[in-house]
């Protein structure tokens, strides 16, 4: 047990919340070993006291009687606790048997979202990957931010060199397909987004939101435009068209290392506002005004997140957002889109992110940075033949609820010869495993945010020691990876126990990263951070280009052919869009008190009204005879679910919205609270065949559905 600061018998522990991307500083008040209160840490230089309701639930996860602490082995539908050695042996044996018989690619790995929030997994997850050495590696990346990576790789030379909106200094914040007031920000680590948005407005700036739903963020904005799902690329082209045609902006100092401006000028021809307007349902004069305002603002930034990533033109959207920022001179300058300088720097030359080195067997979807698109997982399990997936390891992932057409995946999992899960719950996905290996989590772990400091709107650093000793006879995730790697070794791929990568603890690895990082000259080290429990401030984001570029020629490629070629696909939509008989378009949403699929077992997060509803416009409801609160069937090519209708004019007509991560009523799930608030899974309706075919990212938004009252 570690702590800092005492107050009589009461002690205070300071740490960073690792549940979402915001990295809020927490102050946890303890009486002995019991938590008395969890508050925002006012002295955290980054979050300055901000907190959301989920942080308080960290104690619920810690104490949750349903949380697994010992390995489980399944026989039929019964589960039995087993010892760690037996569990490691069984998993290694199950995987090795498949590998020996069918080759390493027959063993697939799926890494879920909490991996990026786990220090152990971020530093040592590669141990497991190398040991399994399969081309079938999948993750939540391809149901999320993959298009951002593809754009960064091709334009800036590194998939993790992601431009982050400098919202604390901007005068104009144009937001497409993100709802940071509910999601707390993504690829923009910025605790207290609502406060930061208000600050833009208070200094005379503007916030403009483009979203098919009038979201919590849109309600706080100066202006909101509805847009039909999947058409943002057209709007962005029209904005760029206007900026170029009216010569509204220049790339400024970026010109010295910028190629492809002419190619962009050619590419946008034909996408004038007047032609695009009827499709995006925003009048041409308003598109033109938006472009003029954006370009005229002293400092502006366009930011687009999951609504413009997990859709049919995700790659084009992320490319065009970068283009808009660049041609108005807003990349790499204060108040624009900037590149953080993290103290532990993962943006290094050795892994820039290769693209298309191999493809999926069935649909020939491209690999990116060593991963294949999660949308392909079902068919790669089900389609017989050479290279078929026969074994699966999920690591902190719940693809049955999170992957498109999760219902089909759920039906495919029992066909595997072997499945293991490294997970803290027996849930919708892990119930199909033969063995579950539960690692320590949250308050039992040391934390340093290797990933999100790289995406943060200010440079800071903070080390959080574990608050509680892990329960007796438990294992950290990194220890699990090592044990499996040791057992999966072969004569060709031996496990070298003396390899420094297998010897270091996460703390030692962090120290090494800090001592070789950009602030090493200022003496930054683990010891220094341990002496500063609230974290240290390293200053605002600074211009980093061209030095930070990783392209071979150290220049920005504004017009990679990959994206130019994809415009043909967009033109097809442009020419053939038929809105007359349009079915309803399904999109997602997030709620402040959820965290994807796995926090519904906390009483305090699920109490109150049912949040798993389908929101629809009053006109769409009336046309189908649906009343507010009524149970309806939502159906698509992939499947059908039943949820209550929530009739609201916050939805654009023709568009309906359901949150993801629900559907806990499956048999055999051991989540007592979540099962009593089960909801239904939107991903039983989303479609694994709907993709951004350029990047392979799932098109979770814009799924055609029908709705009928029950
Ligand atoms: N329709 C629709 N679908 C979506 C989205 C959407 O917007 N709409 N969003 C997508 C996005 S952005 C994402 S990131 C994905 C997320 O997709 P996933 O990562 O597959 O799903 P999660 O719900 O995050 O599941 C996390 C799993 O990790 C386990 N877990 C929690 N903490 C730990 C830990 O410390 N260690 C280990 N080993 N396990 C842990 C949980 O029990 C759970 O099984 O969902 C995607 N799916
Ligand atoms: N409370 C909470 N916070 C979370 C999570 C959570 O589950 N709950 N999940 C975390 C994760 S894993 C991630 S990746 C981030 C995501 O963070 P955000 O990207 O902010 O996620 P959302 O709130 O889903 O916002 C996406 C928005 O896109 C809109 N949208 C859908 N389709 C389109 C479209 O075609 N065009 C446009 N312009 N908009 C569209 C939706 O209406 C929605 O408002 O949130 C993280 N934070
Ligand atoms: S916003 Fe995110 S990081 Fe901050 S307290 Fe909530 S869950 Fe934790
Ligand atoms: Mo995500």
Size of the chain, expressed as the number of residues it contains: 710
Distance CA(564)–CA(698), nearest Å, equals: 21
Atom in ligand 2 nearest the alpha carbon of residue 145: 14
**Closest ligand to Cα 208:** 2
The pLDDT of residue 430: 98
Distance 53 CA to ligand 3 centre (A): 8
**Closest ligand to Cα 590:** 2
**Closest ligand to Cα 659:** 1
Angle at 122 between CA 681 and CA 663, to 5 degrees: 10
Atom in ligand 3 nearest the alpha carbon of residue 52: 6
Could you tell me which of 594, 603, 622 has the C-alpha nearest to residue 674?
603
Q: Are 360 and 470 in contact (CB under 8 A)?
A: no
The pLDDT of residue 576: 80
Distance 478 CA to ligand 2 centre (A): 30
The pLDDT of residue 1: 44
Could you tell me which of 401, 342, 399 has the C-alpha nearest to residue 23?
342
| Residue 18, SS3 per DSSP | coil
Could you tell me which of 291, 313, 295 has the C-alpha nearest to residue 229?
313
Domains of the chain: 2-63 (2.20.25.90), 72-144+353-498 (3.40.50.740), 163-338+549-564 (3.40.228.10), 580-709 (2.40.40.20)
| Residue 173, SS3 per DSSP | strand
Cis preceding linkage at 163, omega within 30:
no
CA distances 649 to 96, 229, 619, Å, are 55, 16, 9
The pLDDT of residue 580: 63
Distance CA(205)–CA(566), nearest Å, equals: 35
Distance CA(535)–CA(529), nearest Å, equals: 7
pTM of the model: 0.98
Distance 676 CA to ligand 1 centre (A): 20
Could you tell me which of 470, 476, 532, 474 has the C-alpha nearest to residue 505?
476
The CB-based long-range contact list for 355-359 (8 Å cut-off, 24+ gap) reads 355/150, 355/153, 355/154, 355/562, 358/135
Write out pLDDT tens, residues 308-334.
999 999 999 999 999 999 999 999 999
DSSP 309: H
Distance CA(394)–CA(420), nearest Å, equals: 7
Beta bridge partners of 435: 73, 420
Tell me the average confidence (pLDDT) per consecutive run of 10 residues in the chain, 710 residues long. 59 98 98 96 98 96 97 97 98 98 98 98 97 97 98 98 98 98 98 98 98 98 98 98 97 98 97 96 98 98 98 98 98 98 94 94 96 98 96 98 98 98 98 98 98 98 97 97 97 91 95 97 97 98 98 98 97 78 90 97 94 98 98 98 98 98 97 97 98 97 97
The pLDDT of residue 4: 54
Verify whether ligand 2 is closer than 6 Å to residue 183 (CB atom).
yes
Distance CA(108)–CA(377), nearest Å, equals: 9
**Closest ligand to Cα 190:** 3
Task: Output the residue whose Cα is nearest ligand 1's atom 35.
Answer: 441
Verify whether ligand 3 is closer than 6 Å to residue 638 (CB atom).
no
**Residue 247: burial class (beta carbons within 10 Å; 0-12, 13-18, 19+):** exposed
Q: Which residues of 342-373 are buried (b: 16+ CB within 10 A; e: fewer)?
A: bbbbebeeeebbeeeeebbbebebbbbbebbb
Distance 6 CA to ligand 2 centre (A): 40
Distance 181 CA to ligand 2 centre (A): 10
Task: Output the residue whose Cα is nearest ligand 3's atom 6.
Answer: 52
Task: Output the residue whose Cα is nearest ligand 1's atom 46.
Answer: 402
Q: What is the largest CA-CA distance in the chain?
A: 72
């Amino acid at each position: 047990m570690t702590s800092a600061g005492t107050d009589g018998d009461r002690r205070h522990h300071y740490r960073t919340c690792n549940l979402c991307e915001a990295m809020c500083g927490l102050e946890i008040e303890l009486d002995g070993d019991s938590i008395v209160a969890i508050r925002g840490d006012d002295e955290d230089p980054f979050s300055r006291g901000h907190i959301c309701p989920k942080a308080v639930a960290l104690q619920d996860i810690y104490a949750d009687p349903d949380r697994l602490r010992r390995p489980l082995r399944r026989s039929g539908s019964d589960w039995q606790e087993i010892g760690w050695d037996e569990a490691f042996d069984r998993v290694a044996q199950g995987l090795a048997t498949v590998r020996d018989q069918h080759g390493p690619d027959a063993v697939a790995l799926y890494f879920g979202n909490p991996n990026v929030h786990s220090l152990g997994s971020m530093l040592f997850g590669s141990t497991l990957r190398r040991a399994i050495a399969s081309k079938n590696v999948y993750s939540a990346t391809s149901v999320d931010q993959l298009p951002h990576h593809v754009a960064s790789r091709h334009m800036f030379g590194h998939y993790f060199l992601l431009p982050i909106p400098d919202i604390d200094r901007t005068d104009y914040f144009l937001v497409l397909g993100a709802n940071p007031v509910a999601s707390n920000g993504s690829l923009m680590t910025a605790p207290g987004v609502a406060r930061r948005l208000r600050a833009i407005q208070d200094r005379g700036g503007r916030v403009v939101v483009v979203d098919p739903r009038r979201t919590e963020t849109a309600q706080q904005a100066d202006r909101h435009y509805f847009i039909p799902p999947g058409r943002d690329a057209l709007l962005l082209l029209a904005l760029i068209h206007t900026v170029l045609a009216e010569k509204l902006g220049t790339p400024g100092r970026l010109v010295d290392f910028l190629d492809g401006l002419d190619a962009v000028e050619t590419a946008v021809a034909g996408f004038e506002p007047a032609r695009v307007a009827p499709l995006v349902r925003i009048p041409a004069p308003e598109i033109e005004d938006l472009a003029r305002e954006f370009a005229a603002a002293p400092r502006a930034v366009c930011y687009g997140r999951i609504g413009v990533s997990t859709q049919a033109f995700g790659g084009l959207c992320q490319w065009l957002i970068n283009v808009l920022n660049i041609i108005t001179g807003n990349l790499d300058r204060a108040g624009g889109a900037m590149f953080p300088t993290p103290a532990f720097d993962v943006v290094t030359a050795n892994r820039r992110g290769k693209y298309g080195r191999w493809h999926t067997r069935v649909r020939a979807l491209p690999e990116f940075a060593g991963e294949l698109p999660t949308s392909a997982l079902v068919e790669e399990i089900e389609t017989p033949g050479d290279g078929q997936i026969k074994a699966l390891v999920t690591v902190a992932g719940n693809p049955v609820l999170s992957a498109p057409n999760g219902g089909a995946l759920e039906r495919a999992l029992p066909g595997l010869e072997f499945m293991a899960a490294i997970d803290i719950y027996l849930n919708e996905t892990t119930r199909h495993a033969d063995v579950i290996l539960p690692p320590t989590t949250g308050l039992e772990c040391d934390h340093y945010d290797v990933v999100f400091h790289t995406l943060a709107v200010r440079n800071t650093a903070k080390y959080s020691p574990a608050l509680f000793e892990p329960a007796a006879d438990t294992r950290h995730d990194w220890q699990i990876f090592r044990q499996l790697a040791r057992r999966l070794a072969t004569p060709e791929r031996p496990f070298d126990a003396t390899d420094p990568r297998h010897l270091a603890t996460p703390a030692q690895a962090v120290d090494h990263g800090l001592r070789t990082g950009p602030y090493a000259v200022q003496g930054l080290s683990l010891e220094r951070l341990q002496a500063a429990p609230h974290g240290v401030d390293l200053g605002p984001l600074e211009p980093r280009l061209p030095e930070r570029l990783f392209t071979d020629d150290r220049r920005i490629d504004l017009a990679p052919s990959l994206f130019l070629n994809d415009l043909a696909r967009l033109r097809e939509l442009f020419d053939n869009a038929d809105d007359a008989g349009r079915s309803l378009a399904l999109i997602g949403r997030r709620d402040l008190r959820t965290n994807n699929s796995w926090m519904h077992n906390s009483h305090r997060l699920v109490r109150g009204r049912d949040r798993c509803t389908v929101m629809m416009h009053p006109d769409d409801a009336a046309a189908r005879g649906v009343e507010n609160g009524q149970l309806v069937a939502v159906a698509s090519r992939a499947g059908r679910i039943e949820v209550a209708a929530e009739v609201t004019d916050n939805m654009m007509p023709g568009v309906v919205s359901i949150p993801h991560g629900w559907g806990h009523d499956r048999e055999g799930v051991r989540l007592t609270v979540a099962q009593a608030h089960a909801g239904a899974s939107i991903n039983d309706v989303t479609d694994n065949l709907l993709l951004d075919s350029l990047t392979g990212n799932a098109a979770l938004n814009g799924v055609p559905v029908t709705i009928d009252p029950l």
